[in-house]
């Protein structure tokens, strides 16, 4: 990751500067020179710590994956299986709406280089937790017997991503253009609830 080991604090500052710029100006608005300005060094210094722009983005994205997974985990406060799934989907959507630049970089940017083993593990863990919630719901009778938890978990993640992605793109619900964020937010929450009701109904006998 670093061409020379050097100053760890500076490497960290670079990643944080990149992350804040991505949020301020979107992934396409990030330049090496802007990052350099923000940390108060010349652009070439960044290349002492990261091979190139892509590997800096890799590191930034990997941290964001961990942060995102923590956010999803922290929100699962119990309740019925369907309620926990609903909480998870809301948390997913809200994180995306609050971190649109980073969300787009994480899930919509063309093929990046490598995703770290840690980030892969975190993502699998989030998905695995969703499966566990579903399986426990099946056990306690909230959800229909014999439900395939892998497919159900995929469905939830697909739904949450589809909703978040369309909301962020401003191309939602047959109404192109950037809508009022508060309206998009409320509308998306309503749709998640409808989705959750649908899942719940589907999994009942």
Positions touching a copy of itself (CB under 8 A) are: 26, 28, 104, 107-111, 115, 119-120, 123-124, 126-128, 148, 151, 154-155, 157-163, 165-166, 169-171, 173-174, 176-178, 190-191, 194-195, 197-199, 201-202
The answer to whether 149 and 134 are in contact (CB under 8 A) is yes
User: Does 61 help bind DNA (rule: CB under 7 A)?
Assistant: no
Token pair 């804040």: residue: 20
How far is 35 from 37, CA to CA, in rounded Å? 5
Identify which of residues 3 and 158 has a Cβ nearer to a copy of itself in the complex: 158
Q: How far is the CB of 57 from a copy of itself (least distance, A)?
A: 13
Token pair 């990149």: residue: 18
Q: What are phi and psi of 87, to 5 degrees?
A: -60, -45
The answer to whether 92 and 72 are in contact (CB under 8 A) is yes
Q: x/- site string to DNA, residues 10 to 49, per CB under 7 A?
A: x-------------------xxxxx------xxxxx-xx-
Q: How far is the CB of 39 from DNA (least distance, A)?
A: 9
Q: What are phi and psi of 180, to 5 degrees?
A: -55, 120
Buried b / exposed e over 22-55, threshold 16 CB at 10 Å, is: bbeeebeebebebbbebbebeeebbbbbbeeeeb
Identify which of residues 49 and 199 has a Cβ nearer to DNA in the complex: 49
Residue 25 partner contact from DNA, a copy of itself, none using kind-dependent CB cut-offs of 5 to 8 Å: none
Residue 124 partner contact from a copy of itself, DNA, none using kind-dependent CB cut-offs of 5 to 8 Å: a copy of itself
Residues whose CB falls within 8 Å of the CB of residue 166, separated by 6 or more in sequence, listed in order: 172, 173
User: Does 53 help bind DNA (rule: CB under 7 A)?
Assistant: yes
Q: How far is the CB of 7 from a copy of itself (least distance, A)?
A: 30
Interacting residues toward DNA by CB under 7 A: 4-7, 10, 30-34, 41-45, 47-48, 52-54
């Amino acid at each position: 990751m670093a061409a020379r080991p050097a100053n760890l604090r500076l490497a960290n500052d670079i990643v944080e500067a990149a992350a804040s710029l991505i949020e301020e100006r979107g992934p396409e608005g990030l330049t090496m020179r802007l990052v350099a300005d923000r940390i108060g060094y010349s652009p070439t210094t960044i290349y002492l710590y990261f091979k190139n722009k892509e590997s800096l983005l890799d590191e930034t994205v990997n941290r964001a994956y961990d942060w995102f997974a923590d956010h999803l985990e922290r929100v699962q406060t119990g309740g019925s299986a369907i309620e926990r799934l609903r909480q998870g989907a809301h948390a997913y959507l809200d994180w995306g709406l609050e971190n649109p630049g980073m969300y787009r970089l994480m899930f919509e940017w063309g093929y990046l280089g490598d995703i770290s083993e840690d980030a892969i593990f975190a993502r699998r863990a989030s998905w695995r937790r969703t499966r566990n919630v579903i399986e426990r719901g099946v056990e306690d009778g909230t959800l229909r017997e014999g439900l395939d938890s892998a497919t159900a978990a995929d469905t939830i993640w697909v739904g949450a991503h589809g909703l978040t992605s369309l909301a962020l793109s401003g191309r939602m619900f047959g109404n192109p253009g950037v809508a009022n964020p508060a309206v998009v937010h409320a509308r998306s929450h309503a749709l998640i609830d409808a989705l959750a009701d649908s899942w719940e109904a589907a999994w009942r006998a």
